[in-house]
Amino acid sequence: MLDLSVIVPAYNEAARLPATLDVLEEHLGGGGWTTEIIVVDDGSTDETRGAVQGRPTSRVPVGVVTLPLNRGKGKAVATGVAASRGRVVAFIDADLPYTLANLDHAVGVVVRGEADAALGARDLDESSYDPSYPLVRQIAGRSYAALIRLTLGLPFGDTQCGLKSFEGELARRLFPMLTIDGYGFDVELAYLVCSRGYRIARFPVTLSHRHDSRVRLVRDSIRMFGDLWRVRRNERRGTYGPFAPLVPAEGPRHNLAS
């Protein structure tokens, strides 16, 4: 088994992927971990798959999994997790909006056994902020965070940061349970981790550049608000079902039942 699997969901990223993978390969190749990078082509209509397949061999193997149709970021990440072999599984957006030091931190927290899941948290005071982010999106984001707390009882509101890492066994157990294929998968994932009492470490993130969000404000916001009620309904109906926890370890836990 490898030490680390890094999942990169990609939709029409042929132009951006070569530089992204160059940076990731160079960085991860010197990290002292046995690592794989898995790009998930989410039904792209450009040469995303070819941009990965045409790469020369490096110290860090890069593979590509292709979905025949565009299913959404959640489905892409879940597909990558299913193909992963790492003791730790992380995922990050294809434009690398956060620093590689943030990625190292996310992985290190899980490697050291300090948490079962490490979630990037843009709402922490130490996190950097993009002042060019449109006001209407800021308001929508804050409203969504408040509703997450109210609807699902989570102890934090920012679930949507695109940098997260998990103990590999936990990732491969949780992701098949997800019912949301789109951007709302993050909140469903955070809910499952929290509600089952797994140890969570939230960490500040630093923007490496302005992140070009592909969220369509009106349509995707309506869908994501609806996803909150879907998660709540799933829990009430027993959709997620019981599942055994990981071997208990020392450390603080977020547990909604407590």
Q: Given pLDDT bands bounded at 50, 70 and 90, which one contains residue 257?
A: very low
For residue 18, is pLDDT > 80? yes
In a domain, 246, yes or no: no
Whether residue 215 lies inside any domain: the answer is yes
Query: Is pLDDT above 60 for 121?
Result: yes
Separation CA 154–CA 144 (nearest Å): 12
Q: What are phi and psi of 89, to 5 degrees?
A: -120, 130
How many C-beta atoms lie closer than 10 Å to residue 49's C-beta?
Answer: 17
Domain count, the chain: 1
The model's confidence at residue 249, banded by pLDDT at 50, 70 and 90, is very low
Mean pLDDT in residue range 96-122: 96
Q: Would you say residue 250 lies in a domain?
A: no
* pLDDT above 90 coverage of the chain, percent: 70
Phi first, then psi: what are they for 144, rounded to 5°? -65, -40
List C-alpha distances in Å: 99 to 11, 23, 31, 120, 128: 21, 11, 15, 11, 11
Q: pLDDT over 70 for what percent of the chain?
A: 85
Range of the domain at 101: 2-237
pLDDT, mean over the chain: 88
Q: What is the mean pLDDT of residues 64-87?
A: 97
C-alpha dist (Å) from residue 170 to 115, 116, 138, 154:
11, 8, 32, 19
Which of 161, 157, 142, 144 lies closest to 221, judged by CA? 144
Instruction: Specify the pLDDT at position 255.
Output: 42
Angle between helices 185-195 and 73-83 (to 10 degrees): 60
Q: What pLDDT was estimated at residue 115? A: 96
Is 254 contained in some domain? Answer: no
**CATH number of the domain where residue 53 is located:** 3.90.550.10
- pLDDT in the model for residue 193: 95
**For the segment 174-210, what is each residue's pLDDT rounded down to a tens digit?**
999 999 999 999 999 999 999 998 999 999 999 986 5
pLDDT at position 256, please? 46
**Is the pLDDT assigned to residue 140 strictly greater than 90?**
no
Does residue 243 form part of some domain?
Answer: no
Contact criterion met (CB below 8 Å) for 199 and 116: yes
**Is 144 a member of any domain?**
yes
Question: Residue 80: pLDDT band by 50, 70, 90 thresholds?
Answer: very high
Domain membership of residue 221 (yes or no) is yes
Instruction: Quick: pLDDT tens for 202-242.
Output: 999 999 865 565 555 456 667 888 899 999 999 999 999 87
* Structure confidence at residue 225 (pLDDT): 85
What's the whole-model pTM score? 0.89
Q: What is the pLDDT of residue 130?
A: 67
Let me know if residue 62 belongs to a domain: yes
Question: For tokens 């608000």, what's the residue?
Answer: 225
